[in-house]
């Protein structure tokens, strides 16, 4: 397969950088994508050759025509793959914002649209001092494959502004967010049918509300304006279940693999959660909710690794108590009385400690060729984007460790964002139209049973027990969202397992996930035709 110039430049790196295993984030994503694309393209070309074949009874000109057809199809396949991989549209914009003291400051903002095979493009918006175009392009590419893996009909996108959000007041952050929304709107990078941002690092529902409001102000006739972003507060058109969605998705994906006999046998673990130990790297939104669901299923949290300190307790850490402590102590877990401080200098890195499951939910490139040999966990759940480098991944797979990859495992957020987007387009919340009818119907059933018993001479009251009373009205919006997420993660995970079997990939679930996603995107481009 011939690489495009864009990909060649992205994958090129000096020997010094490669030796330290610190690739550029975009190059890292392309590395994973390219190796999987090579496997899939070879298979498609092979299938194309087998379909045509040769019939000795054909006249010579017919055979030549068939051969030309094969050659043309091969060129089409190669052309689609060359087009699929690089980002389609990117924008870097510099805009001026007035500060509280009357001064003006210029900020740099970025938005990348990786793929237009489905619209709108979708992806988070982060505020961080080190955000640059390379990072935004990498995350946009990941979003394409993430959406495809879970059958969410979006192309991938990502945005970022280079700033330290802690250094600005709330009013300054609002003006920055609105100014960036103006730039995106002006250049066609914002809109419910075009490009839909969402929360990411150091942004949340507050920033999404500002952005949605600014878009509505700029486009007052757009009936679907609230769908221009997701992750909004409920009062602004958000959806119940969005806050915990990514962590819940991490749980569902890990649950599928930890209960699969084939994969557990390959890594030497028994199936099920009960008695398993886990360490969580990162205790933000994703890490907290992932740990909460892991513990609820019977696993024991023995360690938490955070940016400013690590905790360890071989008898188990109370996740809810730790979250309460963190909220009361300015967002820090340091000093939590339910665990001891872990000394990395004398005990080594906490993520290298003995455990069954390691939740990698902090940031990119934390496991590389330099430390992958030291990781002892049998299952690594990638709640963060890009936490393991390609060389680190190869080492883990060779050591018979199961890496459940980011493009599948942390897709819970974008899946529920899709549900929010649909809610905004439909202009009605989930469950609202059937809530009262379902309750009336269920109570009528109970009444009918009571009447039948009375007619038979049994005057026994038939009433709903506590469990039925809780759900007698049917599914709430949160119930529907949770159910939809669970189904999505299960279906996507089973498809990835099927792909791993088809290509005989063993424990290389990441390659299977990429192939599954690439095949879906390829089919869209192939069947849509070229124009």
Binding residues for substrate: 122, 146, 417
Cα angle value 421/424/425 (rounded, 5°): 90
How far apart are alpha carbons 321 and 384 in whole angstroms? 23
Of the residues 158, 232, 300, 423, only one is catalytic, namely 158
Q: Coil, helix or strand for 405? A: coil
How far apart are alpha carbons 376 and 357 in whole angstroms? 9
CA 372 to chain centre: 23
DSSP β-ladder status, 309-312 and 300-306: antiparallel
- DSSP 8-state class, residue 179: H
158 assigned to active site: yes
Binding residues: 122, 146, 246, 285, 417
How far apart are alpha carbons 314 and 302 in whole angstroms? 5
Contact 315, 392 (CB under 8 A): no
How far apart are alpha carbons 15 and 465 in whole angstroms? 68
DSSP run (H or E) holding 121: strand 121-128
CB atoms < 10 A from the CB of 114, how many? 30
How far apart are alpha carbons 8 and 16 in whole angstroms? 18
Q: Coil, helix or strand for 99? A: coil
Contact 381, 357 (CB under 8 A): yes
- What is the token pair recorded at 35? 């190796």
How far apart are alpha carbons 4 and 149 in whole angstroms? 24
CA within 13 Å, CB half, 445: 9
How far apart are alpha carbons 282 and 299 in whole angstroms? 17
Binding residues for NAD(+): 246, 285
DSSP run (H or E) holding 113: strand 104-113
Backbone angles phi, psi at 198, to 5 degrees: -155, 170
- DSSP 8-state class, residue 39: H
- What is the token pair recorded at 258? 């930890």
How far apart are alpha carbons 412 and 240 in whole angstroms? 13
Catalytic site positions? 158
């Amino acid at each position: 397969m011939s690489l495009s110039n864009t990909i060649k430049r992205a994958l090129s790196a000096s020997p010094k950088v490669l030796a330290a295993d610190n690739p550029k984030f975009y190059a890292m994503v392309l590395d994973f994508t390219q190796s999987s694309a090579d496997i899939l393209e070879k298979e498609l070309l092979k299938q194309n050759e087998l379909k045509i074949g040769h019939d000795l009874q054909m006249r010579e000109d017919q055979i030549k025509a068939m051969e030309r057809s094969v050659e043309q199809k091969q060129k089409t396949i190669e052309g689609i793959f060359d087009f699929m991989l690089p980002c389609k549209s990117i924008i870097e914009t510099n805009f001026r914002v007035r500060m509280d003291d009357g001064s003006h400051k210029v900020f740099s903002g970025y938005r990348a649209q990786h793929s237009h095979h489905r619209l709108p493009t979708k992806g988070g918006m982060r505020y961080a001092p080190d955000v640059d175009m390379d990072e935004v392009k990498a995350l946009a590419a990941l979003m394409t494959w993430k959406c495809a893996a879970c059958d969410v009909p979006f192309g991938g996108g990502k945005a970022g502004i280079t700033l330290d959000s802690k250094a600005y007041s709330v009013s300054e952050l609002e003006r920055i967010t609105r100014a960036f929304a103006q730039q995106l709107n002006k250049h066609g990078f914002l809109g419910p049918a075009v490009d839909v941002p969402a929360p990411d690092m150091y942004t949340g529902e507050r920033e999404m509300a500002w952005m949605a409001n600014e878009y509505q102000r700029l486009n007052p006739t757009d009936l679907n304006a609230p769908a221009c972003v997701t992750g909004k507060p409920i009062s602004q058109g958000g959806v119940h279940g969005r806050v915990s969605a990514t962590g819940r998705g991490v749980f569902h994906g890990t649950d599928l693999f930890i209960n699969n006999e084939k994969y557990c046998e390959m890594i030497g673990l028994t199936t099920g959660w009960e008695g398993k130990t886990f360490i969580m790297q990162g205790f933000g939104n994703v890490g907290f909710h992932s740990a909460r669901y892991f513990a609820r299923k019977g696993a024991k949290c023995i360690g938490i690794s955070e940016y400013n300190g690590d905790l360890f307790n071989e008898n188990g850490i109370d996740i809810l108590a730790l979250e309460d402590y963190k909220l009361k102590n300015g967002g820090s877990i340091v000093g939590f009385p339910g665990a001891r401080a872990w000394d990395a200098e004398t005990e080594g890195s906490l993520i290298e400690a003995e455990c069954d499951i390691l939740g990698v939910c902090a940031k990119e490139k934390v496991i590389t060729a330099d430390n992958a040999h030291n990781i002892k966990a049998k299952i690594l759940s990638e709640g963060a984007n890009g936490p393991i480098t390609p060389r680190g991944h190869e080492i883990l797979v060779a050591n018979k460790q199961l890496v459940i990859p980011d493009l599948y495992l942390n897709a819970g957020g974008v899946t529920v964002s899709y549900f929010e987007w649909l809610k905004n387009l439909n202009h009605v919340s989930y469950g609202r139209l059937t809530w009262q009818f379902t309750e009336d119907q269920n109570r009528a059933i109970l009444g009918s049973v009571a009447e039948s018993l009375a007619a038979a001479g049994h005057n026994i009251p038939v009433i709903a027990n506590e469990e039925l009373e809780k759900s007698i009205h049917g599914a709430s919006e949160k119930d529907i969202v949770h159910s939809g997420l669970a189904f999505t993660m299960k279906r996507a995970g089973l498809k990835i397992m099927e792909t791993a079997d088809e290509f005989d990939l063993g424990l290389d679930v990441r390659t299977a996930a990429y192939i599954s996603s690439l095949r879906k995107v390829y089919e869209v481009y192939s069947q849509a035709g070229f124009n």
